[in-house]
Amino acid sequence: MRLHPAVVSHAEEVLREVLRFTGPADAILSRYFREHPKLGSRERHAVAEGVYAVLRNKLAYASFSESGHGPAMRRLALLGLADVVGTDALGGISPEEGEWLRRIAQIDRAVLPVALRANLPPWLFEKLVARDGEAATLQLAGALNQPAPLDLRVNALKAKREDVLAELAKAAIECEPAPYAPLGIRLKKKPALQNLPLFKDGAVEVQDEGSQLLAQIVAARRGEMVADFCAGAGGKTLALGAAMRNTGRLYAFDVSEKRLSKLKPRLARSGLSNVHPVVIAHENDAKIKRLAGKIDRVLVDAPCSGLGTLRRNPDMKWRQTPESVCELNGKQTSILASAARLVKPGGRLVYATCSLLDEENEAIASQFLASHPDFALVPMKDVLQEQKIALEMQDYLKLSPQVHRTDGFFAAVFERRK
Ligand SMILES: C[S@@+](CC[C@H](N)C(=O)[O-])C[C@H]1O[C@@H](n2cnc3c(N)ncnc32)[C@H](O)[C@@H]1O
**Ligand 1 pocket list (CB less than 6 A):** 211, 229-233, 235-236, 253-256, 259, 280, 282-283, 301, 303, 335
Is 69 contained in some domain?
yes
Binding positions for S-adenosyl-L-methionine: 254, 301
Residue located nearest, by CA, to atom 13 of ligand 1: 230
**Which one of 175, 230, 304, 354 is the catalytic residue?**
354
Is it the case that residue 165 has pLDDT exceeding 90? yes
Provide the ipTM.
Answer: 0.99
Residue located nearest, by CA, to atom 6 of ligand 1: 231
Is 293 contained in some domain?
yes
Write down the pLDDT at residue 176.
Answer: 97
Write down the pLDDT at residue 1.
Answer: 82
| Domain C-terminal end among 46, 78, 112 | 112
* Per-residue model confidence as pLDDT tens digits over 246-293: 999 999 999 999 999 999 999 999 999 999 999 999 999 999 999 999
* Per-residue model confidence as pLDDT tens digits over 7-32: 999 999 999 999 999 999 999 999 99
- Structural domain tally of the chain? 2
Q: Which structural domain range is residue 269 located in?
A: 209-416
Shared domain check, 247 and 105: no
The alpha carbon of 157 and the centre of ligand 1 are apart by a number of angstroms equal to 25
Shared domain check, 384 and 240: yes
Shared domain check, 228 and 106: no
User: Which of 211, 217, 230, 285 has the most ligand 1 atoms within 8 A of CB, as the residue to mutate?
Assistant: 230
Q: What CATH code is carried by the domain that includes residue 375?
A: 3.40.50.150
Is 304 contained in some domain?
yes
| Domain C-terminal end among 50, 77, 112 | 112
Write down the pLDDT at residue 418.
Answer: 86
Is 139 contained in some domain?
no
Q: Which atom of ligand 1 is nearest to the CA of 335?
A: 19
Write down the pLDDT at residue 142.
Answer: 97
The alpha carbon of 231 and the centre of ligand 1 are apart by a number of angstroms equal to 5
* Per-residue model confidence as pLDDT tens digits over 200-253: 999 999 999 999 999 999 999 999 999 999 999 999 999 999 999 999 999 999
The pLDDT confidence band at residue 399, using thresholds 50, 70 and 90, is very high
The alpha carbon of 50 and the centre of ligand 1 are apart by a number of angstroms equal to 30
Is 80 contained in some domain?
yes
Is 126 contained in some domain?
no
Binding positions: 254, 301
Is 355 contained in some domain?
yes
326 is catalytic: no
Q: What phi and psi values does residue 187 have, to the nearest 5 degrees?
A: -90, 150
| Domain C-terminal end among 112, 138, 157 | 112
Shared domain check, 366 and 227: yes
Is 66 contained in some domain?
yes
Q: Which atom of ligand 1 is nearest to the CA of 214?
A: 8
Question: Secondary structure of the chain in the HEC alphabet?
Answer: CCCCCHHHHHHHHHHHHHCCCCCCHHHHHHHHHHHCCCCCHHHHHHHHHHHHHHHHCHHHHHHHHHHCCCCHHHHHHHHHHHHHHCHHHCCCCCHHHHHHHHHHHCCCHHHCCHHHHHCCCHHHHHHHHHHHCHHHHHHHHHHHCCCCCEEEEECCCCCCHHHHHHHHHHCCCCEEECCCCCCEEEECCCCCCCCCHHHHCCCEEECCHHHHHHHHHHCCCCCCEEEECCCCCCHHHHHHHHHCCCCCEEEEEECCHHHHHCHHHHHHHHCCCCEEEEECCCCCCHHHHCCCCCEEEEEEECCCCCHHHCCCCCCHHHHCCHHHHHHHHHHHHHHHHHHHCCEEEEEEEEEEECCCCHHHCHHHHHHHHHHCCCEEEECHHHHHHHCCCCCCCCCCEEECHHHHCCCCEEEEEEEECC
Residue located nearest, by CA, to atom 1 of ligand 1: 303
